[in-house]
Amino acid sequence: MNPKGVVFCDPIIWAMPPNDERLSSSIDIYRKKTPRSAKIFERSKKYHVNGVSHNIRFFSPYPFVTRSAKGRSITDVDGNKYTDYWMGHWSLILGHAAPPVAALVRKQLPSCWMHGTANEMTVTFSEVIQKAVPVAEKIRYVSTGTEATMYAVRTARAHTGRKVIAKVDGGWHGYTTDLLKSVNWPFEKPESLGLTDDAHIVSIPYNDLEGSLKVLQEVKGDLAGVIIEPVLGGGGCIPARKDYLSGIEEFVHRNGSLFLLDEIVTGFRFSFGCLYTSMGLEPDIVTLGKIVGGGFPIGVICGRDEIMRISDTSMRSKSDRAYIGGGTFSANPVTMTAGRAMLQHLRKNRGVYNKIGRLGDMARRGLEKAFGGRVAVTGKGSLFLTHFLRDGVEDIANAADAARCDTEMLRRYHFEMIARDGIFFLPGKLGAVSSAHGEADIKALIGASERFSSLIEQQVPANV
């Protein structure tokens, strides 16, 4: 176990201590109910590093193998059904296999799922996005959030002619080479081998305006932009303070740098549009992903015309333009159709946001009550994460606070619910309520948490 804790976005493999007696009975239960998953996962390890294609999807002793998913549930190959709060990396705001998306995708498939030429679905989809996200005067589609943030950073550098990008400690923007720095607390070591140069990335303390401005001041001459998630997602489900974001924005704009908001998690999550509009912010570039793909692969770079123009190859010579966007599958007909179906549904059914926000509130309140003073539950709207507090951590304002909590206990809690209660959070990660969830699900979650709370009550007194 890492004595300093591990930040939740850490894509390292989490291995439970094999001889942890407190867990052994739930591991037994899990093994008994998932024999086919165990077998398939053994096969998977022969072909895939760590047995998976995304490190975070592994959890010990082995992840169950999914057979199907519908609405709020995932069913594994052994027939176990789990109420799902991971929801496809938080991308499935309407639940799995949402009928409004499925219907339009089915209709699209016979006429083609890939052609690599211009298509009308993209235009229609962009019309919907632009109305809801005013900064999206120009849009480029890619296939992942990682690509979107990579291009956002490149755009900022190209537009300003400067090199330095600031990101926050614990900020997660995908595996983007440029931004794979200061992700995991204590934010010291390089995050990965194979990164050639992170000299032009600086990190700033989240939700600490004074501390951040101090760092930005030092690099201001070469500062191309600052990239921030308005709710730190992987870093602990922590909303940014409004005065923090507006203070950074003001500095950045005064300095001729760009303000980049990574809304890959937050876009269309809390309302029909982005969080920045409701916070009164004026970013130059916004990245989107997850929800806007309707469950299909997507990344979106949205920006003001004046800025995105740097990538206009028709007007510029090779020496003064940037390559932004690309990719064989960018703007493919299926993703464009699914994304449009998702957004059109959300636009017409804004009650979804009231519903999932209310359930999120219910979860946060219920979980805090279930665990007494032992936890803080952070989040916003339909996103929430339980932090098991330790001495000296009372408030979760940034990724370091989150990492100093008992992250092993959090993973244990999530695993216990998988094994015993049929409730699935990716161990250690925040949960997302979808419109397919209901009050009964949240009550079941609170009930399972009460049981876990009384179990650990007998083992460890609160706040040690």
Ligand X SMILES: Cc1ncc(COP(=O)(O)O)c(C=O)c1O
Q: Which residues form the interface with ligand X (CB under 6 A)?
A: 89, 144-146, 149, 172-174, 229, 233-234, 262, 264-265, 289, 299
C-beta closer to ligand X: residue 169 or 416: 169
Within 13 A of 82's CA, how many CA atoms are on the CB side? 30
Distance CA 82, CA 75 (A): 6
| 285-289: strand order across its sheet | 138-142, 299-303, 285-289, 258-262, 223-228, 164-168, 201-204
C-beta closer to ligand X: residue 34 or 287: 287
Nearest distance from residue 430's CB to ligand X, in Å?
Answer: 10
Nearest distance from residue 142's CB to ligand X, in Å?
Answer: 9
Distance CA 341, CA 128 (A): 10
Exposed/middle/buried for residue 136 (C-beta within 10 Å: 0-12, 13-18, 19+)? buried
Nearest distance from residue 148's CB to ligand X, in Å?
Answer: 7
CB 384 within 8 A of CB 362: no
Distance CA 394, CA 404 (A): 10
CB contact set of 322 (below 8 Å; sequence gap of 6+) = 154, 155, 157, 158, 159, 310, 311
Helix axes 407-416, 21-33, angle to 10 degrees: 30
Nearest distance from residue 256's CB to ligand X, in Å?
Answer: 25
C-beta closer to ligand X: residue 149 or 160: 149
Distance CA 107, CA 308 (A): 33
CB contact set of 376 (below 8 Å; sequence gap of 6+) = 368, 386, 387, 389, 394, 395, 396, 405
C-beta closer to ligand X: residue 9 or 94: 9
C-beta closer to ligand X: residue 235 or 366: 235
> Which residue in 117, 93, 138 sits closest to 352, CA to CA?
93
The residue written with tokens 């992987």 in the block is 234
Torsion 38-144-402-435 (CA) sign: negative
Nearest distance from residue 173's CB to ligand X, in Å?
Answer: 4
Nearest distance from residue 289's CB to ligand X, in Å?
Answer: 5
C-beta closer to ligand X: residue 158 or 288: 288
C-beta closer to ligand X: residue 205 or 366: 205
C-beta closer to ligand X: residue 284 or 416: 284
CB 436 within 8 A of CB 94: yes
Nearest distance from residue 229's CB to ligand X, in Å?
Answer: 5
Q: Which residue is nearest to ligand X (CB)?
A: 145
C-alpha pair distances (Å), 456 with each of 25, 59, 228, 370, 391: 14, 21, 36, 12, 17
Nearest distance from residue 21's CB to ligand X, in Å?
Answer: 34
C-beta closer to ligand X: residue 11 or 205: 11
Nearest distance from residue 268's CB to ligand X, in Å?
Answer: 13
